[in-house]
Amino acid sequence: MTVSAGLGLATYPFASARDFWRWVDLCDAGGVDSLWQSDRLIGREPTLECLSVMAALAGGTKRLKFGMSVASLGLRDPVVTAKACATIDVLSDGRLLPAFGVGSALSRDYAATGTPTKGRGRRTDEGLEILSRLWSEETVSFEGQHYRLDEASIAPQPVQQPLPLWVGGSAEQAVERTARWGTGWQAGIETPAEVAPVIAAIKKRVAEIGRNIDEDHYGAGFGFRFGSPDEPVVARYRDVLTKRLKKPDPAGYFAVGDTDDILALLNEFRGAGAHKFVLRPIATDADDLMAQTRLFVERLLPAVSALNR
């Protein structure tokens, strides 16, 4: 089983596209495993649309893999999404890591796109089946509650066969989706203690239905910063997590300090069964993000690589 670490972005802290590509180039040249873009359509805080980022990274990088963490399939037409992902995988020569979830019922993206939240779970279930089959089968016929296909095909199909299909979410329904259609599972903002029972439940269900998910295809993510817990940027991050998670003490959801501090939390997640990591730099601005990324490349990546020896 291999351990790998990529970087994730939720917001867009860059002043220009040039600054964004400087960061991407640093990641590509520095040995970062993968880049991940969060999915959000509506909001005042600058964010990028995740599938558009995947297409840009396909042409703007040489070795990096890239994925969505995670895209809401409850909002997206599965045929259009399947075609887009196949195209990106072809043009990147097999470097896309598609990842999907239901999406929060509280998200303003549903109202803004005129998409009902009711039934989003069933739409996601049907969508995952359609994605998986269109990526691998010559023709697909499907009749569900929300989608119908009659001998549908897409060409070219993805370079990767099978194309990875990572699934997010920790509810019982997400466990079932992962077991039935996923090739991997990606945690959200959760602690090792919260991740462990989900991974165990997925493995149990996978065995029951006779499928297989590789042992090292269970992922987790957390915020990190090389620095001091007393820094104002860390206090702001802690406040954001407290409000979002509705927990007075968000310890266990992020790591601040030196390489050993960050690696300690990563190893806690390994103990819970996670081996793929999407780490989110806690940074004040684009320059600070670059600095944190350099430290990630220079200090943390060698330590993660050593875990595979």
DSSP secondary structure letter of residue 102: -
Spans of all domains in the chain: 4-279+297-306
pLDDT of residue 104: 84
Both tokens assigned to 190 = 């959760």
Q: Provide the 10 A C-beta neighbour count for residue 267.
A: 14
pLDDT of residue 249: 87
pLDDT of residue 47: 97
Q: What is the largest CA-CA distance in the chain?
A: 60
CATH superfamily name and code, 4-279+297-306: Luciferase-like domain (3.20.20.30)
Closest residue by Cα to residue 202 from 190, 188, 222, 217: 217
Distance separating alpha carbons of residues 266 and 183, to the nearest angstrom: 22
pLDDT of residue 43: 94
Helix locations, the chain, DSSP H? 17-30, 50-60, 78-91, 108-112, 120-136, 172-181, 192-209, 232-245, 259-272, 286-295, 301-306
| 6 three-state secondary structure | strand
Q: How far apart are the first and last CA of the chain?
A: 10
Mean pLDDT by groups of 10 residues along the chain of 309 residues: 95 97 98 97 96 98 97 96 98 98 90 94 97 98 98 98 97 97 97 98 98 97 98 96 90 96 98 98 98 98 96
Task: Please answer whether residues 92 and 67 qualify as being in contact, where contact means their C-beta atoms are separated by less than 8 angstroms.
Answer: no
